[in-house]
Amino acid sequence: MRYSRLRALAELVTVLLIVSAAWFALRPATAHSAHYTLDKAAITYDGQVLKGKFSGPGTLTFKNGDHYRGTFKAGRFNGRGTYTSHHGWQYQGQFKAGVMQGQGTLTTAHKTYKGTFNNGVFNHTSVEKD
């Protein structure tokens, strides 16, 4: 009788340990805010990180003055954002997997391109001269 109680207790403890380990291993990852300085301070990032990759809202700034402010997914520009170049042009709109994809506006010194971008290429919808 005593042996069966001891065995039942050991089985219960084992099941609880297995359930606890499974919960710990399979729990959903949570994003956290971070600041990174990369490539000998040539790139800085401030924003959300999930599983070691930029994910969620953030700002990426390059040493040359270029910067991106918007949404990231798996370390790439993804969702709505604004990329501003030190050369004076700016793209504001949708990104997917790091490239301009979807509705957006590309503003240069002489023209504004509004419309749809597909894999980084502008599909002519309207061009406004400044």
DSSP assignment letter at 109:
S
Q: Is pLDDT at 90 greater than 60 in this prediction?
A: yes
- SS3 category, 30: coil
- SS3 category, 15: helix
Residue-wise pLDDT for 47-60, tens only, equals: 999 989 999 999 99
Q: Where do the structural domains in the chain lie, given as residue ranges?
A: 32-129
What pTM, to 2 d.p., does this model score? 0.76
Q: Is CATH 2.20.110 the right assignment for the domain spanning 32-129?
A: yes
CA distances from 73 to 14, 64, 79, 95, 117 (A): 39, 24, 8, 10, 19
Query: pLDDT category, 119, cuts 50, 70, 90?
Result: very high
> Which residue bears the tokens 């805010």?
33
Q: Is pLDDT at 13 greater than 60 in this prediction?
A: yes
* Mean of all residue pLDDT scores within the chain: 91
